[in-house]
Each structure stands twice: as structure tokens, then as C-alpha cells.
Amino acid sequence: MGLYSPPDKSSSPPSSTDDNIKNAKSPNDADDTETIHFYNRPSIGLRMWGPLVPGSDCRWGLWTLLTIQTFIGYKFLRKFIKITFPYMTSNTTVKRNIADIPSLNRFGGKVGDPIYVLQPTSPNAVNPINTTTTTNNISSATISNLSRFGAGTRNINRTTINNSRNNNDKHWFTFTFKKNKNQNNENNSNTDSKYTNFTRVFYFVSGCGLLGQSLLEFLRLTFFDYDPWYEQAKAVREKAFFNDIQKYYREGIDPTKISVKVKDSKTGKLKDVTSDSGVLSSVAIARATMKQSSFLNKWYGPMDYKPLSFEEYLDRIEHFQEYNDSLHKLRGVNELITASITGDHKSHGSNLSKELEKLHNVNLKARNSTLKLLNNVPANTLGTLQNGDENSTTDSSSFLTFFQINDTVKIIPSMAKNYTNIELSNTWTLNDPWEKLAIETELGIKIIPNSRNFNDYNDLAEEKDSPSPATTNIGNNGQTSSPDKTSLLEEVDKQKSSHNSHQEE
Amino acid sequence: MFNKVLLRSSKLNYNPSIFQKISAVQRNVINITPLTNNNNNNININNQVFRNTQLSTKRTLVSKSLSQPPKDAMTTAREIAAKKNKKIVFLRTAFFITAGLIGLLYWAWPKHNFPYPVAKFLRKGLWEERDDNRDNNGMPNYQAALKYYLLALDKADEVGMSKISDDYTGIELKVAEMYEKLNMVDNASRIYLELSYRYYDCLRNGTYDIDEMEKPHYIQKDLRCVIKWLQFNMSSQPHPEVFQFAKGLLLSHLLLAEEELMAKSPEFPLNNLTKDDLQKQIEHKYSGTINFENMINEDNIFLDTDGYIALDLEQKSSYAWFPFKDEFFTARDLYSAMCLSTKDIASAVNYKLTTLKWMVLAGMAPGQIMLSQANLGSLLYLRGEEFEGKLNYLQKHPESLNSTNTEVVADDLNLTTTMRLYNKSKDECYKAAIECYEAIIKFTRNHSKLRFESNINGLNPSVSQAIVLSTYGLGVVNLHLDHLPQAEKLLNDSLSMSKQIGFAELTTEAENELKKLQAIKAEKKQLESKQKMDQ
């Protein structure tokens, strides 16, 4: 987590008070005055990656990092095993210079050194005293080996026999390995074993640590029902998108660089609409989308938010668990509320699945009968809604309507000659029915009161019911509505009230 | 020869261990030459091979030239092996990189989740529905499209697509859309109803296996379906039973969303009501006071460091709301509207009060919170009018007082206490309404950038709408309270502003109110002149 301050600023030392904060680069904007607080993205098992950890809603990023970490951990552990139990792991031989094998080397120093060997007088009389070696650098080890000549011979025999008998190099080489350590490098053996021990411990600890951490993170990603960090990251991403749109909208378009012109259908003249709010907002949305789809943003999410602390994370999970335990009690109350408000109507409860099935069957029947009907009816005979209202709104002076989602289906690629050419994934996304429904159900509800003369009350109060009328103004924020859909939900008593209801944009 | 043998063997077999063996043996031979003659026949066949060589170098010096060849041979062999190893490593790396790239490409490539036969029908359907359908005189052929979508749905059933997946429900929505286009509204609305039932069943009883983290996503879809269904069925005057059903439907689905919020947001006020509390609340709708609390202030409305509209990234209470907050508040507003339509203003006000508080919790955009508060002001004004009406009625018909038609909770119900309570409540309502409106106007006045933004009428129309509505509402209240000069000024202001931002409905209303105001003024003048005349 970091506070990234630009380098040219008066040298303020990295705030050591909060160790979550450290220095980082500021964005290279024209004005570098603002600093961006970058907090490490939270994680349970990937913390060692520090600022590399992706945002919690970047699932693919988390999995990638998790895989890498697991792989490294596995490698470490393997290395540890390789060092400790070499014969268990290697299917290739441990390569060792033959000169290092003591039992075979009692006459020679390093490879390549000239060795003088005296021919013994009798082949059977093996006397080490008679054997003199003169070389430039005869090691002490060689001399000590000489004194143990007999043992050396046995060694030769044993190794070769082992070698030829079971064709198993491993044993042989373990043997030489140990010999080498004990005898050849007596001076270095202490430090060497210390080093080996250190690496061994290091590989073991870090390998186990990494794998354990990976396991924790794996559990978080797969087995946790509820992940507050994920929820937060997702929400924050959406919020940042909104904020970006606002920001870019305010920035607007530099008219010296870009100008947007539209041909007026009536006059045929080019109209400059660069400063039109519709153009501005669509440019802002496009820029924000661009920013959203950048790799950095996809990986981290918005830069400058502070993730929930680990304690908060746990608190939320605890709350969630507690709540779920007491859910049944709460549901009882909730049902009571519903029942009390709606009178006789039973909210979906016990017989929900039956109702659902009934409904499904009715719909299925409708589907089948409609299919039959469609097969028998010529094209364009079934009634279609009049879209007159829509046309009138698209003619409005604001350019905004042009950029709103249209009611018609757009095909990708637009050059498609046949239905087989359609790129279904793109076309479906462009005409996503759920998005369309979202726009249709985005209602702007405004309640506009009207004043009344005091005399009115006399008439109104004649009624026994509550005398006040309803005044609601429910409009559809989308452009696709037709009048009867968006008209009032209420029965507004128009004669008695002076309130009006409207449909509005 | 020595060299050659070694080299040959190295070519035949690259296993480096063999070299080591060979070289080891060979060195034994060299070093222990005197011994091998008789004793070491068992060493190796190679010994025999090399013996001649050794014999020739009998006696003394094993020179560099002799000890060199084995080393060279070994290094060559090692080099070859290393080369081989390098090749393998290279190939392996290349393989992994290619596999990774292919995987990435596959992952990033746009793809759909429809099985092939379903996809085929969907393509056909979309093709018929395209905006310039040349096979159908340049008009979309909804009939044909509906046919294909229905077939696609049948196929999807056959293939066994998950009925809760967005893909399957997407096809259903397409079918509903086509029904709607072809004026088969009943069919369409039933599809939405079924969808909402299915989601409810799934979320409530866990009929389908969904991820806990995916729940908000489905709640969002559920609420959309419910709202759409209401749009279909509440448009004309609905049958009272349908109306009650709609209310129940809306409420139960809203409660489902609230359950989700209670679980995931510790900041959300937990519903700790017992049954008794609830019963009391239901019996005694009205206790005499309005718990209005102004929400439009610096604590609740977040503006960025420059004073512009922004959402607070770190508002902890808002995270759980995010996926479905828009749908949720639309549905809640609809519920208020439904209450209003049955002239149950008390419920509408209470519901709206909670809505407003929750909107702040949910971190809604400032404009929407403002608009919500402006609406609350209007509701409060209506509530005040209601009390005033009742008061007037009671004054005229004192005999009508009985426990059934009053909302007042009092131990001894008598005319004076009731009237006093009504009067008090009326005043409170008007006061709260004025506070509601004034807070919005004051806040926007204090934050000039917010006001500036509201003027450009681009992304945040609700800010300007809230301001205009508040100005207008304040005008209406003042008119009602007989403060004519203020009322006139405010109404004129709202009229010009609403014209500026294209808030057509309010323009007409403001004009009407101004006419009324003029009428009252004229009346007053007449009265004054009459009085003067009388004097």
C-alpha cells in the first residue's frame, strides 16, 4: 500500500508512521500536484506479492498469481528434497568429477596433473612404502589414502561390483558423495555442511510456506460463501466508473482538437454538436469504458481506494454467519409483515413451487399455441404497437436520444448477408435483453403536489375514506416506453383532485 | 584408439553416467597398471581393450597427452548432452508458452454459452428482428423472430440449459419482448411473473445451485422482472384483488433483497421486531409525530475534493447494495406510489422516510437522494393537507368522531384532543415539508459547483429536477399557507427553471399554480376594495 508522491516535491520522507503507505510513482499528468494513495490489494494467501496482488474481483488474476505461487512453492520443496534425499529424486546421475572420489584417487591429484607411478617389483607384493609418488601438488588426502591402500582396494571392488550387479548408479554415487565429503574436503566440510543445512532449511520453510499460503488462498477462492473483499472491489469498480464519467464529462471535449458535426436532416446543413450534452456524455462514457478495459484497471480495479482491513473482513463474515443462523426467525417476521400489509394474499411461501409449476405450464401452453398460430398466420398480420411516441422523442432537440439504446436489433457484423454470418456473442451482447429490460424498468418517480383552496376540503371530507388524492409522476428514463406502459400505476381520482399525472422522460 | 572408442560410445549413448563409468574404469586401469596384470581381471572388459595401450605406456609417466583425451571426450560428450538438454528445455518452454497463449486467446475470445442448436435459432431470430429487414420491407419481422425464439427456447429445454442462467432467461425475455411487440400482453406479463417466481424460489429455497456471491445479481434480475410485471398490470385501473396481489408480490421480493442486505451489510439496521411490536405497529399506524430527518447535508452528500458530484469509494455501508440498488429503490418508490394511489398517504410517507435513509446508506448518487427528499417533501405536504381536511371535516361534523375512522391513538378519544392532535400533526407536516425543500435549495446554493452541474443538464438531470421540484413545492406550500408574495416569487422561479431544463410537466403545473395565485390575489383585491367600499 503506498502513498505515491512525485519526486520533484519537497523531499518528504516516506511516511513511516503507517507502514501500509509507501512511495510510488504519481501519474504523469500535466499537473502532478495530486498524490494517489495506492493500497495493496487484500488477500489471504498472496500477501507476499505486495503491490502485485490483483483486485479481489479480478478472479483470473488471483488464479494466475495463485498458480505461480504454488509452482514456486512446489519447486522449492522439490529442491529441498533433492538436496536432502538426492537418490530418491534424481533419475539422472549426480555428476561428480571422478577425481573427487577418494578411493579411486589415491595416486592422483587433479585431473590433468602428471602422475608418476613406480612399477612395483612384484605384482603380489603390494607395499605402500615402495610406492612413491612425486607430483607437483600431492594433497594430504592422497597421502592419507596411500596409508589406507587396502581399504581403497576393497572400495574399488565394492563399487564396481555394485555397479555391475544391479546396474543401479544411485547407490554408488551416494557412496562416493559421502566419502567425498568426509575425506576430501575436511577443511571445508564444516562451512559446507552449514551452507547445505541453511539452504535445506530455507527451501523447506519457504516451500512449505508458499504452498500453505496457496492453500489458504485456494480455500478463500473456492470454499468461502461470502467474500467481502470481492463485494467491495466490485462495488468500487462500478463507483469509479460513475466517477470517471462525471470527470470526463466535466472535462468535455477540446473544441480545437475535435469537433462533431451532424447533418441536419431538414436543412441539410452541417451542425456543430461538439458541445451538445449528448455528445459530451457519450464521449465521457466511451473514455470511462476505455479506462475500465485497460489491463491495469482490470487487474487492480480503481487505484485509489482503501480496501477493508482484515479485521473488517472477518467481522463481515462473522456477521454474515450470525445472520444466516437466525434467518428463520427473521423470515417469520417478514412474512407476517407481508401478510399484514397485503391482507389475505399469502406471500410466496409453502406453495410457491406449486404456483411456479402452474405458471410454467400455462406459459408452456401459451408457447405451443403461439407457435401453432405463427405457423398458420401470414407475416405482419398480428398487431404491433404503435411507436409514435418514440418517434416524437427522437425528434427532440437534444442530441441525447441519438445515443440511447435503440429499440431495434443491430447485427454484428453489419455486413452480414445471411443469418449464418452473425457473430452471436457480440450481437447478443449488443442487444442484451437484460440491458434492455434495465432501461425499461428505470423509472424516475416524481411527486408533484398542487395547492388547493381550503373550500375543497369540505367536499373531500364528505368521503369517509382518507381524503387526500394521490399525485405521482412516474416516468420512464429510457426512451423506449410506449404511453400505456408507463402511465400511472395508481387510480388517480381526477375529478376530485386537482392533481395531474404525467408521463415524462 | 582410446579416443575413438570413447567417442564412438559417446555417440551411441549419450547417457553421461556411462562416460563417467567408462572414464572411471579407464583411469583405474591407468593408475593401477601394475596390479591389473594378474589380480584385476574382473574389473571390466574395457580393461582388456585398453590393456594394450597401457602396455605401451608401461613404466612411469602418464603424460598430459595421455590423460587429456578422456577429459576432452568427456567434455565433448557433456557438451552434446548439454546441447541436447538445452534443446529439450527450449522445446518445453516453447510448448508451454504456446499453450499459454492459446489458452489466453481462447479465454479472451468472445464466445457465447449457447449450445449449437439453440444458437442456430437465435441467429435466425436476431436476423429476422434486425432493424432493416429487407425480406420484410425494411421492417423488423417480429412474428418470424418470435417463432425462432420460441423454437430456441424449446431446444434449450431439450438440451437442458440451466433455467436460472442469464442465457436461458435472456431467450425468455426475448420471447416476452416479441409478445409485447405483437400485442400479446398477457403472455408477456406472465413470462415476467414466472421469471420473478423462479428467481424467488431459487433465492429463497435454493432450488438451483447458485453461488452466494452471485445472489445480488439474481436479486437484481428478479426486481427488474417484478417492476416490469407491475408496469404491465398497474397501467389501467386494476382489480382490487390484482392490486393486493401486486402489493404482496412487490413487498415479498423487496424483503428478499432486504434479507440479503441484512446479511451482508452490518451497517444495515437489523430488523429486530418481535411479533408483538409488529402487531402494535400495524394497529397503530399513526402515533402523532413525524420522524423526519433532513438528509441533504455535508455528512450525507458526498462531493469530491473539488466539490463536484462523485460517489464515495470508501463508504463501507454501500458495498452490499451495489449490484441491485437502482432496481431496489425504483421498486420501493413504486410501493410508495401504490400506497399513494390507495390514498394511504401515511404508509407512503413512512415508507419514503425509510427509503430516504437507506438511499444514503446505499451511497446513491447525490441527485437521486435529493430528488427522493423532494418527493418526500411533496408527500409530507400531502399528508399535512390530509390532516387539514380531516380537521375541517371534524369541525363541521363533530358527530362523526369515532374510533374507526381516526388514526389517532389516544386513551380517551374526545373531540378536543383529536382536533388538537390533528392540528399539531398538520403543522408538523407542513414544517417538515418546508424543511425538506429548503434543505435542498440551501445545499445547492452552498455548493455552487453542484448547481453549475445541474445547469448543464447532462448526466445528472435529477439534481436540477430536485432543485426545481423543491422550489415549486416550496411555492405551493407558501401559497397554501397564504404567503402570497413568497409563493409568487418561488413559483415564477420554478417556472423559468423548469423551462430551462425541459421539465415539461412541472412547467404546466407551475403555470396552473400561478393562475390560481393570481385568482386568489384578485379575490383578495376584490375583498379589500369591498371592505374599503363598505368603510
Between B25-34, B159-168, B446-455, the lowest mean confidence (pLDDT) is in: B25-34
Q: What is the full DSSP assignment across A141-193?
A: HHHHHHHTHHHHHHHHHHHHHHHHHH--HHHHHHHHHHHIIIIITTTTHHHHH
CB hemisphere CA count around A338 (13 angstroms): 24
- At B9, the pLDDT band (50, 70, 90 cuts) reads very low
Q: Report yes or no: B201 at the A interface, CB cutoff 8 Å.
A: yes
Q: Which amino acid is at B217?
A: H
Q: Report yes or no: B307 at the A interface, CB cutoff 8 Å.
A: no
Taking the CB of residue B501, how many other CB atoms lie within 10 A of it?
Answer: 19
In a domain, A114, yes or no: no
- At A483, the pLDDT band (50, 70, 90 cuts) reads very low
The alpha carbon of residue B509 is apart from the nearest alpha carbon of chain A, in Å, by 8
Q: Which of A319, A342, A365 is the last residue of a domain?
A: A342
Q: What is the pLDDT, as a whole number, of residue A343? A: 55
User: Which tops the pLDDT comparison, B192 or A458?
Assistant: B192
Q: B337-357: per-residue pLDDT in tens?
A: 888 888 888 888 888 988 998
Summarize the confidence of residues A431-441 as an average pLDDT.
90
Closest listed residue to residue B303, CA positions, set B441, B453, B439, B438? B453
Q: Report yes or no: B197 at the A interface, CB cutoff 8 Å.
A: yes
In a domain, A324, yes or no: yes
Residue A102 predicted with pLDDT over 80? no
Maximum average pLDDT range among A113-122, A305-314, A468-477? A305-314
Q: What is the full DSSP assignment across A225-264?
A: S--HHHHHHHHHHHHHHHHHHHHHHHH---TTT---EEE-
- At A498, the pLDDT band (50, 70, 90 cuts) reads very low
C-alpha cell at B51: 590393456
Q: Give the nearest chain A residue to B268 (CA atoms).
A: A319
User: Which tops the pLDDT comparison, A447 or A159?
Assistant: A447
d(CA A347, CA A338): 7
Summarize the confidence of residues A93-117 as an average pLDDT.
54
Residue A107 predicted with pLDDT over 60? no
d(CA A283, CA A290): 10
Q: Give the nearest chain A residue to B347 (CA atoms).
A: A341
Taking the CB of residue B361, how many other CB atoms lie within 10 A of it?
Answer: 19
Burial of B145-177, coded b for 16+ CB within 10 Å and e otherwise, reads bbbbbbbbbbbbeeeebebbebbbbbbbbbbbb
- Option in A156, A324, A416 nearest B28 (CB): A156
Domain that holds residue A257: 228-308
Q: A452-482: per-residue pLDDT in tens?
A: 654 444 444 333 333 334 345 555 443 322 2
Q: What is the pLDDT, as a whole number, of residue A214? A: 94
d(CA A294, CA A310): 28
The values of phi and psi at residue B309, to 5°, are -65, 135
Summarize the confidence of residues B168-195 as an average pLDDT.
92
8-state DSSP, B312 = -
Long-range contacts of B152-156 (CB under 8 A, 24+ apart): B152/B118, B152/B121, B152/B122, B152/B125, B153/A367, B154/A367, B155/B115, B155/B117, B155/B118, B155/B121, B156/B114, B156/B115, B156/B118
C-alpha cell at B41: 581381471
d(CA A105, CA B28): 9
Maximum average pLDDT range among A33-37, A252-256, B448-452? A252-256
Between A71-85, A140-154, A324-338, A386-400, the lowest mean confidence (pLDDT) is in: A386-400
Summarize the confidence of residues A397-426 as an average pLDDT.
67
Residue A74 predicted with pLDDT over 90? yes
The alpha carbon of residue B137 is apart from the nearest alpha carbon of chain A, in Å, by 11
Q: What is the pLDDT, as a whole number, of residue B277? A: 55
Chain B residues whose beta carbon lies within 8 Å of the beta carbon of residue A320: 263-264
Summarize the confidence of residues A16-43 as an average pLDDT.
55
Residue B151 predicted with pLDDT over 50? yes
Taking the CB of residue A162, how many other CB atoms lie within 10 A of it?
Answer: 15
Q: B468-520: per-residue pLDDT in tens?
A: 999 999 999 999 988 899 999 999 999 998 888 888 888 998 999 999 899 88
Q: Are A2 and A24 in contact (CB under 8 A)?
A: yes
Q: What is the pLDDT, as a whole number, of residue A66? A: 94
Hey, are the CB atoms on B140 and A409 less than 8 Å from each other? yes
- Option in A225, A449, A504 nearest B505 (CB): A504
pLDDT averaged over every residue in chain A: 67
Between B145-154, B233-242, B418-427, the lowest mean confidence (pLDDT) is in: B233-242
Q: A337-371: per-residue pLDDT in tens?
A: 666 666 544 555 567 788 888 899 999 999 999 99
The alpha carbon of residue A359 is apart from the nearest alpha carbon of chain B, in Å, by 6
Sequence-distant (6+) residues with CB within 8 A of B54 are: B29, B30, B33, B36
Q: Report yes or no: B130 at the A interface, CB cutoff 8 Å.
A: yes
Q: What is the pLDDT, as a whole number, of residue A188? A: 54
Sequence-distant (6+) residues with CB within 8 A of B431 are: none
Hey, are the CB atoms on B330 and A442 less than 8 Å from each other? yes
Q: Are B300 and B368 in contact (CB under 8 A)?
A: no
End-to-end CA, chain A: 45
Between A17-31, A349-363, B94-108, B364-378, the lowest mean confidence (pLDDT) is in: A17-31
Q: B219-253: per-residue pLDDT in tens?
A: 999 999 999 999 888 876 778 888 888 888 898 89
Q: What is the pLDDT, as a whole number, of residue A462? A: 39
d(CA A488, CA A472): 8
In a domain, A291, yes or no: yes
**What is the 3-state secondary structure of A358-411?**
HHHHHHHHHHHHHHHHHHHCCCCCCCCCCCHHHHHHHCCCCCHHHHCCCCCECC
Q: Count up the domains in chain A and report the number.
A: 3
Q: Report yes or no: B499 at the A interface, CB cutoff 8 Å.
A: no
Residue A229 predicted with pLDDT over 90? yes
- At A103, the pLDDT band (50, 70, 90 cuts) reads low
Q: Report yes or no: B426 at the A interface, CB cutoff 8 Å.
A: no
ipTM rounded to 2 decimals: 0.78
Q: Do both A57 and A83 map to the same domain?
A: yes
The alpha carbon of residue B411 is apart from the nearest alpha carbon of chain A, in Å, by 22
User: Which tops the pLDDT comparison, A81 or A17?
Assistant: A81
Helix (H, G, I), strand (E, B) or coil at A37: strand
Residue B156 predicted with pLDDT over 90? yes
The alpha carbon of residue B297 is apart from the nearest alpha carbon of chain A, in Å, by 20
- Option in A466, A490, A502 nearest B386 (CB): A466
C-alpha cell at A290: 476505455
Q: Do both A86 and A206 map to the same domain?
A: yes
Q: Report yes or no: B247 at the A interface, CB cutoff 8 Å.
A: yes
Q: Which of A225, A245, A277 is the last residue of a domain?
A: A225
Hey, are the CB atoms on A302 and B184 less than 8 Å from each other? no
Q: What is the pLDDT, as a whole number, of residue A26? A: 37
Cis omega (within 30 of 0) for bond into A413:
yes
Q: Are A400 and A285 in contact (CB under 8 A)?
A: no
Q: What is the pLDDT, as a whole number, of residue B402? A: 65
Q: B315-337: per-residue pLDDT in tens?
A: 888 999 988 999 999 999 999 98
Q: What is the pLDDT, as a whole number, of residue B272? A: 54
The alpha carbon of residue A213 is apart from the nearest alpha carbon of chain B, in Å, by 23
Q: Do both A202 and A316 map to the same domain?
A: no
pLDDT averaged over every residue in chain B: 80
> What percentage of chain A reaches a pLDDT higher than 70?
51
User: Which tops the pLDDT comparison, B456 or B259?
Assistant: B259
Q: What is the pLDDT, as a whole number, of residue A459? A: 44
Residue B89 predicted with pLDDT over 80? yes
Hey, are the CB atoms on A280 and B337 less than 8 Å from each other? no
The alpha carbon of residue A9 is apart from the nearest alpha carbon of chain B, in Å, by 21
- Option in A231, A345, A472 nearest B320 (CB): A231
**Residue to test with chain A: of B150, B340, B404, most A Cβ within 10 A:** B340
C-alpha cell at A291: 479506462
The alpha carbon of residue A294 is apart from the nearest alpha carbon of chain B, in Å, by 14
Q: What is the largest CA-CA distance in chain A?
A: 146
Q: Do both A218 and A80 map to the same domain?
A: yes
- At B188, the pLDDT band (50, 70, 90 cuts) reads very high
In a domain, A375, yes or no: no
Closest listed residue to residue A370, CA positions, set B169, B146, B177? B146
Q: Do both A304 and A240 map to the same domain?
A: yes
Summarize the confidence of residues B81-86 as an average pLDDT.
87
Q: B352-405: per-residue pLDDT in tens?
A: 988 998 999 999 988 889 999 999 999 999 989 988 888 888 888 877 776 555
Maximum average pLDDT range among A304-308, A339-343, B407-411? A304-308
Please state the pTM of the whole predicted model: 0.74
In a domain, A371, yes or no: no
Summarize the confidence of residues A144-151 as an average pLDDT.
43
Hey, are the CB atoms on A98 and B330 less than 8 Å from each other? no
Q: Are B260 and B219 in contact (CB under 8 A)?
A: yes
User: Which tops the pLDDT comparison, A310 or A20?
Assistant: A310
Q: Which of A201, A225, A249 is the last residue of a domain?
A: A225
Chain B residues whose beta carbon lies within 8 Å of the beta carbon of residue A163: 21
Q: What is the pLDDT, as a whole number, of residue A211? A: 94
> What percentage of chain A reaches a pLDDT higher than 90?
19
Chain B residues whose beta carbon lies within 8 Å of the beta carbon of residue A343: 244
Summarize the confidence of residues B118-143 as an average pLDDT.
86
- Option in A306, A470, A504 nearest B504 (CB): A504
Q: Report yes or no: B511 at the A interface, CB cutoff 8 Å.
A: no
Q: Do both A301 and A246 map to the same domain?
A: yes
Q: Report yes or no: B81 at the A interface, CB cutoff 8 Å.
A: no
In a domain, A201, yes or no: yes
- At A96, the pLDDT band (50, 70, 90 cuts) reads low
Hey, are the CB atoms on A457 and B393 less than 8 Å from each other? yes
Structural domain boundaries in chain B: 2-67, 389-535
